[in-house]
């Protein structure tokens, strides 16, 4: 992040006779209020807010571009394209059916294996895509085994958010943190990975106690399921090999590239281009255009533009010095103690993330925590704060049906399939379980970063 | 050219309370694939079709948008489809019928009519706007018959003015 003093173009600090700080924070607060109200699409709000910063003269266009974290944008677009191509191969259904056959349709074990598959896929891919691919096959399996679907949908939501916590690319808060602070793929695996694993195991135990051990199904239905042929779910073996090869290269790029200053955004976007090359090089030019167009259309542009607007909104308050001021307040409150700050960040981010979209919160917290670094003993001293933010924001998403995009996706799919998830019923169990995972994370953060 | 002459004004109809079993017998007997469903006042409530019954036999996960796009992997498993059909047969028509139907009127252009039939399926109900009553249906067969009828009359030497409305049958 370039300090404001070095910025190529200075915008005026006085707007219509008002302090730029007041204008920028008013626009940000108003935008957040609209986002929380969920009456208007979040991309529209964030782009309008970004535009307002320019029209009021708080930011110039050059400063707006400077505020956008293109590493995050490239990483999101690159991974979305790779997933869009990979999902056409049927690999997700294949793995789910294979697992269901491996446990011979035992419902208790099925809940566990489907959760684990979801967690692993969510760690490596976008959570929303993962649940969109796992939920349909899960519904088929539960229908076949005549099992209640609610426990499975509940477990998949938790598995997806917990799995996403474990890696740099698993969940948007981690992408934001990793990109802004320069933390690598393996940094996340080492520092938050164990916490995700412990949480997953504890929650699987809880799910088994509440639901798994009471599941009943007929021998006949299980016999039917065992007949399924997972290989029939694979629709394009050639493309599957190309996709897996690319995913492997991209992962290696994340892990190895970090040491060579190669940003994840570059790796993911190049990976996407490489996979499109493998898919298209033998086709005629017009077929190539068609295929490439199709893959690029699968990018969730609503999310991308929401991020672009949000980066500009946050840069407005950062550039005018509002965040420095807030950071100073926070240091006053915590007395500059790293452990107290970590706990404050972990718990507040968890509870806020359960109620509202965690992305705007994380995007605002990052520059604020960064500006706290000098008073707290420098960048390496505050590293636990990033892990606290990651754990709080990612795991907090489990707290309610609107806590994370994956939850919303599962709920909307389930509703269309006639298995509505009641908001309050979900909240009544999910919120306490989310708090349990934050208690576990509190213990983890203390043990891993504050005892030696 | 509107399609008025292609309208069937006295279509066979079903009642919403009829059991699916009886409705299936009814369409088999009349050699049709679908029939409009009307209540006691003659108000249109939906379309009952064999294809809708067939659709209900599929698992929900395969029917929903963004759901499963293939079921080939269920090969070897006999998922009790016949038993499922038996359950559906005990239900009243109103639970199986398609309620979300595209309705047309006699003023619709012929080409548009054909396009709608291909897009939304046959038959399409013709509904009186104020009362919601069914006044007729239009189907793929009735459209083709009507066009053949016109050809026949042309062959007999009658002058057919394409823009004029033709008298109802």
Residue B165 has pLDDT above 80, yes or no: no
Q: Given this model, what pLDDT does residue A7 score?
A: 43
DSSP state of B10: S
- CA-to-CA separations, A148 to A143, A152, A281, A422, B78, in angstroms, rounded: 8, 8, 46, 14, 21
Residues 6+ apart with CB under 8 A from A82: A243, A246, A247, A250, A268, A271, A272, A275
Q: Given this model, what pLDDT does residue A8 score?
A: 42
Of residues B38 and A8, which shows the higher confidence score?
B38
Residue B169 has pLDDT above 50, yes or no: no
B-chain CB neighbours of A143 within 8 Å are: 59-61
Q: How far is residue A319 CA from its own chain's centroid?
A: 26
Predicted confidence band of residue B12 (pLDDT cuts 50, 70, 90):
very high
Q: Given this model, what pLDDT does residue A264 score?
A: 92
A-chain CB neighbours of B80 within 8 Å are: 224
Give B36's strand partners. Answer: B47
What radius of gyration, in Å, describes the C-alpha atoms of chain B?
Answer: 19
Cα–Cα dist A57/A41, whole Å: 25
Cα–Cα dist A228/B71, whole Å: 10
Residue B37 parent element (H or E): strand B34-38
Give B37's strand partners. Answer: B14, B46
**3-class SS of residue B98:** strand
Residue A241 parent element (H or E): helix A237-257
Q: Given this model, what pLDDT does residue A329 score?
A: 86
B28 CB-contact burial (10 Å; exposed 0-12 / middle 13-18 / buried 19+): exposed
A367 CB-contact burial (10 Å; exposed 0-12 / middle 13-18 / buried 19+): buried
Could you say which of A224, A225, A417 has the minimum Cβ distance to residue B60?
Answer: A417
Cα–Cα dist A188/A174, whole Å: 8
Q: Given this model, what pLDDT does residue A14 score?
A: 58
How far the first Cα of chain A sits from its last, in Å, is 32
**From the DSSP assignment, how many helices (H) and strands (E) are in chain A?**
22, 2
Mean pLDDT of all residues in B109-127 = 88
Predicted confidence band of residue B163 (pLDDT cuts 50, 70, 90):
very low
Q: Extract the tokens encoding A91.
A: 């690999």
Cα–Cα dist B19/B30, whole Å: 17
Predicted confidence band of residue B81 (pLDDT cuts 50, 70, 90):
confident
Kindly report the nearest CA distance between residue B58 and chain A, in angstroms: 10
Q: Is A418 at the interface with chain B, CB within 8 A?
A: yes
A residues 114-153 lying closer than 8 A (beta carbon) to B: 132, 136-137, 139-140, 143-144
Cα–Cα dist A313/A28, whole Å: 6
What radius of gyration, in Å, describes the C-alpha atoms of chain A?
Answer: 23
ipTM over 0.95: no
Residue B37 has pLDDT above 90, yes or no: yes
Task: Name which of A413, A416, A394 is nearest A403 in CA terms.
Answer: A394
Q: Extract the tokens encoding A8.
A: 């190529």
Kindly report the nearest CA distance between residue A223 and chain B, in angstroms: 8
Angle (nearest 5°) at CA A169 between A308 and A389: 80
Q: Please give the mean pLDDT across all residues of chain B.
A: 85
For A226, nearest residue in chain B (alpha carbons):
B77
What does the domain layout of chain A look like in residue ranges?
72-199+219-297
Q: Is the CB of residue B103 less than 8 Å from the CB of residue B13?
A: no
Give B133's strand partners. Answer: B43
Mean pLDDT of all residues in B4-15 = 87
Cα–Cα dist A250/A229, whole Å: 30
DSSP line for A113-125: HHHHHHHHHHHHS
Predicted confidence band of residue B167 (pLDDT cuts 50, 70, 90):
very low
Task: Name which of A225, A116, A258, A200 is nearest A441 in CA terms.
Answer: A200
Q: Is the CB of residue A156 less than 8 Å from the CB of residue A138?
A: yes
Interface probe, candidates A416, A418, A419, A420, chain B, greatest B C-beta count within 10 A: A416
Predicted confidence band of residue B113 (pLDDT cuts 50, 70, 90):
confident
Residues 6+ apart with CB under 8 A from A18: none
**3-class SS of residue B84:** helix
A-chain CB neighbours of B64 within 8 Å are: 136, 413, 416-417
Q: 10-residue block means of pLDDT along chain A (452 residues)? A: 46 63 90 85 93 93 93 92 91 93 94 97 89 92 92 97 94 92 93 97 97 90 88 92 96 91 93 96 93 92 92 90 84 87 94 85 90 86 94 95 88 89 93 97 95 78
Residue B2 has pLDDT above 50, yes or no: yes
Q: Given this model, what pLDDT does residue B166 score?
A: 39
Q: Is the CB of residue A293 less than 8 Å from the CB of residue A280?
A: no
Task: Name which of A323, A369, A311 is nearest A344 in CA terms.
Answer: A369
A68 CB-contact burial (10 Å; exposed 0-12 / middle 13-18 / buried 19+): middle
Q: Is A235 at the interface with chain B, CB within 8 A?
A: yes
Handedness of CA A317, A321, A323, A326 (dihedral sign): negative
Q: Extract the tokens encoding A307.
A: 């991020």
Q: List the domains of chain B with CATH numbers.
A: 4-155 (3.10.580.10)
B-chain CB neighbours of A235 within 8 Å are: 70
Q: Is B42 at the interface with chain A, CB within 8 A?
A: no
């Amino acid at each position: 992040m370039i300090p404001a003093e070095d910025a190529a173009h200075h915008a005026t600090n006085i707007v219509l006779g008002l302090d730029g700080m007041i204008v920028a924070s008013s626009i940000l607060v108003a935008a957040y209020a609209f986002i929380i109200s969920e009456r208007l699409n979040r991309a529209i709000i964030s782009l309008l807010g970004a535009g307002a910063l320019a029209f009021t003269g708080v930011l110039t266009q050059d400063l707006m571009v400077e505020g956008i974290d293109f590493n995050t944008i490239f990483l999101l677009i690159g991974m979305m394209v790779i997933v869009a191509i990979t999902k056409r191969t049927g690999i997700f259904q294949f793995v789910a059916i294979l697992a269901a056959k491996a446990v011979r349709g035992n419902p208790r074990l099925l809940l566990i294996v489907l959760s684990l598959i979801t967690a692993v896929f969510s760690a490596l891919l976008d959570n929303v895509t993962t649940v969109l691919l796992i939920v349909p096959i899960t519904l088929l399996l539960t229908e076949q085994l005549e099992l209640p679907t609610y426990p499975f949908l509940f477990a998949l939501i938790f598995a997806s958010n917990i799995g996403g916590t474990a890696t740099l690319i698993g969940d948007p808060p981690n992408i934001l943190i990793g990109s802004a602070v320069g933390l690598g793929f393996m940094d996340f695996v080492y520092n938050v990975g164990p916490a995700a694993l412990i949480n997953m195991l504890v929650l699987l135990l809880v799910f088994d106690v509440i639901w798994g051990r009471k599941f009943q199904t007929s021998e006949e239905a299980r016999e039917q399921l065992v007949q399924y042929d997972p290989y029939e779910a694979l629709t394009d073996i050639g493309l599957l090999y190309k996709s897996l090869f690319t995913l492997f290269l991209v992962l290696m790029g994340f892990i190895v590239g970090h040491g060579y200053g190669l940003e994840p955004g570059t790796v993911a976007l190049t990976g996407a281009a490489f996979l499109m090359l493998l898919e298209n090089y033998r086709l005629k030019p017009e077929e190539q255009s068609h295929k490439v167009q199709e893959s690029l259309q699968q990018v969730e542009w609503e999310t991308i533009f929401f991020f672009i607007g949000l980066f500009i909104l946050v840069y407005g308050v950062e550039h005018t010095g509002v965040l420095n001021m807030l950071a100073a307040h926070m240091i006053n409150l915590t007395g500059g103690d790293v452990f107290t700050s970590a706990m404050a960040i972990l718990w507040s981010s968890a509870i806020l993330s359960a109620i509202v979209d965690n992305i705007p919160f994380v995007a605002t917290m990052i520059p604020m925590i960064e500006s706290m670094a000098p008073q707290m003993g420098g960048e390496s001293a505050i590293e636990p704060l990033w892990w606290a933010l990651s754990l709080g924001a990612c795991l907090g998403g489990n707290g309610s049906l609107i806590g994370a995009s994956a939850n919303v996706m599962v709920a909307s799919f389930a509703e269309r399939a006639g298995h509505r998830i009641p908001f309050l019923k979900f909240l009544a169990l999910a919120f306490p379980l989310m708090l349990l995972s934050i208690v576990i994370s509190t213990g983890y953060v203390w043990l891993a970063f504050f005892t030696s | 050219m509107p399609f008025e002459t292609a309208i069937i004004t006295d279509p066979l109809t079903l009642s919403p309370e009829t059991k699916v079993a009886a409705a299936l017998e009814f369409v088999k007997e009349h050699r049709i694939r679908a029939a409009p469903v009307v209540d006691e006042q003659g108000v249109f409530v939906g379309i009952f079709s064999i294809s809708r019954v067939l659709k209900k036999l599929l698992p929900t996960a395969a029917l929903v948008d963004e759901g499963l796009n293939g079921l080939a992997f269920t090969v070897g498993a006999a998922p009790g489809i016949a038993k499922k059909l038996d359950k559906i047969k005990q239900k009243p028509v109103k639970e199986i019928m398609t309620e979300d139907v595209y309705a047309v009127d006699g003023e619709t252009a012929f080409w548009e009519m054909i396009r709608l039939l291909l897009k939304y399926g046959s038959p399409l109900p013709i509904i009186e706007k104020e009362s919601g009553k069914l006044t007729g249906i239009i189907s793929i067969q009735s459209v083709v018959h009507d066009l053949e009828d016109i050809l026949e009359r042309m062959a007999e030497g009658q002058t057919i003015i394409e823009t004029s409305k033709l008298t109802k049958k």
